[in-house]
Amino acid sequence: MSDISGELIDRVKFAQQHAQPLKIIGANTKAFLGRDVSGQPVNVAAHSGILEYQPVELVLTARAGTSLLEIQQTLAEQQQMLSFEPPLFSASSSGSSGGATLGGTLAANLSGPCRPWSGSIRDMVLGVQLINGRGELLNFGGKVMKNVAGYDLARTQAGALGGLGLMTEISLKVLPMPQLRLSLSLAIDEAAGIVLMNQLSATAKPIDAACWLDQRLHVRLSGSSASVEQSARAWQLDYGFAVDTAGQQFWRDLTEYQLPQMDSRQPLWRFSINPTSAPLEVRGDCVIDWAGAQRWVSGEQEIEQLQQQAEKAGGSVALWRGGDRSAEVNQPLPQAMQQLQQRLKHSLDPDNILNPGRLYSWL
């Protein structure tokens, strides 16, 4: 629990003066994400601590290096939570103790199975304090529920993998915990499973997770006990779902990317597409999460063939983990979009010192 923002500003200013790229590191639990970049490591994990939290406001502000574990424990004491079910990487082999940091989680925009219903960390961000590539400490957004003053450079940090600023403080909207969570599952083939998970999502039942794999559809209901129990009964009758007592562990493994289908020795590919897209033609079996909008497949694949399918399905594919990380790992963007992204990066980081090349070789 300490404030090292002064030191961090000095590091960035020094780097800018010496045109020396920086590699921003939280707990280093997601070093595998994005492209390999070289740069002087800057450690943000020591810049930690919860700064403000009043349960009645549903807002929490913490330094970027604060571990998610600490945040979740603090929220849980008040029956509140981070609503986007982030992966914690707390048992990771990276040697760091606390697991994922808040800053790293926002930079990577990682959210768990409930994402289609409860939103992502990007959706919950209210404000960010950051150091831009000029070494200026800036505040965007705020600590209140709504704020449309100025461009939303807070939310824009989500998924930027540190390329738009070294984040120092983050304010998030938090939510009450549901009274009850219940998992159900059903044997069903892939094509029918995709249709069913979308149909269930279009009902007003409190569904908050839907994942198909190994010829089984897993769903979770979360909310007030009355509505969860009533909905579970209805779905057991209507579709033949059975209560899945191992559900909690399943969702945790899925959230932490630790299902056997996500073998960490193999390249892992991630599709982000229209949830209703038909089964993808890939080598091996898919894990279909987010009610169809996020799909995983591991092993050696033809990248161009995957990209074509992703495009047809209204989205994109990334080489998420493993494989060649010096090449591009994200779907190519049109020329005009590339240029605009470069100009935006340049507006915040004119000397290209903040995690250059992490998202794309040209960014």
Partner 1 sequence: MGRNPLAIPVKISQSELAALFGEFIDPQYVIADRETQKPYECDGLSMYCEMPLLVVLPETLLQLQRVLRICHSYSIPVVARGAGTGLCAGAMPNAEGVVLSLAKFDRILEIDPLARTAKVQPGVTNLAISEAAAKFSLYYGPDPSSQIACTIGGNVAENSGGVHCLKYGLTVHNILRVTMLTVEGELLTLGSQGLDSPGLDLMALFTGSEGLLGIVTEVLVKLLPVPEKAQLIVAGFDSVSAAANAVGEVILQGIIPAGFEMMDTHAIVAAEAFVKVGYPVDAKALLLCELDGTADEVEQSVQKVASVFKRLGATSIRISENEQERAQLWRGRKSAFPAVGRISPDYYCMDGTIPRGQLANVLTKMQQRADQLQLRVANVFHAGDGNLHPLILFDDSVPGEFAKAEQLGAWILEYCVAVGGSITGEHGVGVEKIRQMPIQFSDLEIQQFHRVKSAFDPLGTLNPGKGIPLLKNCQEYRALRQIQPPKQQTVAGEKP
Q: How many CB atoms lie within 10 A of CB 204?
A: 7
Helices (H), the chain: 5-17, 68-76, 102-108, 115-118, 121-124, 190-201, 225-239, 247-255, 303-312, 335-348
Using the rule CB under 8 A, give the single segment among 22-30, 90-98, 203-211, 239-247 that binds partner 1.
203-211
- Select 57 or 300, whichever has its Cβ closest to partner 1: 57
Which one, of 176, 163, 165, 159, lies nearest residue 125 by Cα?
159
Q: Using the rule CB under 8 A, which residue among 43, 305, 341, 352 binds partner 1?
A: 341
**Contact assessment for residue 186 and residue 72, using Cβ atoms and an 8 Å cutoff:** no
- Select 158 or 286, whichever has its Cβ closest to partner 1: 158
Nearby residues of 118 by Cβ (< 8 Å), 6 or more positions away: 83, 84, 85, 175, 208
**Quick check: 177 binds partner 1 (CB under 8 A)?**
yes
Measured from the CB of residue 64, what is the shortest distance to partner 1 in angstroms?
A: 15
Q: Using the rule CB under 8 A, which residue among 94, 179, 248, 308 binds partner 1?
A: 179
Q: Helix, strand or coil for residue 48?
A: strand
**52-81 footprint of partner 1 as x/- string (CB under 8 A):** --xxxxxx-------------------x--
Nearby residues of 311 by Cβ (< 8 Å), 6 or more positions away: 331
CA-to-CA separations, 45 to 132, 156, 160, 182, in angstroms, rounded: 18, 21, 18, 35
Strands 287-289 and 180-187, sheet pairing: unpaired
**Contact assessment for residue 236 and residue 287, using Cβ atoms and an 8 Å cutoff:** no
**Quick check: 357 binds partner 1 (CB under 8 A)?**
no
Which one, of 350, 117, 151, 113, lies nearest residue 247 by Cα?
113
Measured from the CB of residue 117, what is the shortest distance to partner 1 in angstroms?
A: 10
Q: How far apart are CA 302 and CA 152, in angstroms?
A: 37
**Quick check: 230 binds partner 1 (CB under 8 A)?**
yes
Q: How far apart are CA 147 and CA 126, in angstroms?
A: 8
Q: Which of residues 254-283 bind partner 1 (CB under 8 A)?
A: 271-276
**Contact assessment for residue 191 and residue 278, using Cβ atoms and an 8 Å cutoff:** yes
**Quick check: 201 binds partner 1 (CB under 8 A)?**
yes
- Select 91 or 151, whichever has its Cβ closest to partner 1: 151
**Quick check: 199 binds partner 1 (CB under 8 A)?**
yes
**Quick check: 146 binds partner 1 (CB under 8 A)?**
yes
**Quick check: 2 binds partner 1 (CB under 8 A)?**
no
**Quick check: 299 binds partner 1 (CB under 8 A)?**
no
- Select 98 or 166, whichever has its Cβ closest to partner 1: 166
Q: How many CB atoms lie within 10 A of CB 249?
A: 11
Using the rule CB under 8 A, give the single segment among 38-46, 64-72, 184-192, 331-339 that binds partner 1.
331-339
- Select 218 or 295, whichever has its Cβ closest to partner 1: 295
Measured from the CB of residue 148, what is the shortest distance to partner 1 in angstroms?
A: 5
Using the rule CB under 8 A, give the single segment among 21-29, 36-44, 174-182, 246-254 that binds partner 1.
174-182
- Select 11 or 143, whichever has its Cβ closest to partner 1: 143
**Quick check: 49 binds partner 1 (CB under 8 A)?**
no
**Quick check: 105 binds partner 1 (CB under 8 A)?**
no
Size of the site for partner 1 (CB under 8 A): 91
**Quick check: 333 binds partner 1 (CB under 8 A)?**
yes
Q: How many CB atoms lie within 10 A of CB 334?
A: 8
- Select 25 or 130, whichever has its Cβ closest to partner 1: 130
**Quick check: 50 binds partner 1 (CB under 8 A)?**
no
Q: How far apart are CA 317 and CA 81, in angstroms?
A: 30
**Quick check: 290 binds partner 1 (CB under 8 A)?**
yes
Q: Using the rule CB under 8 A, which residue among 288, 331, 354, 355 binds partner 1?
A: 331
Q: How far apart are CA 267 and CA 255, in angstroms?
A: 18
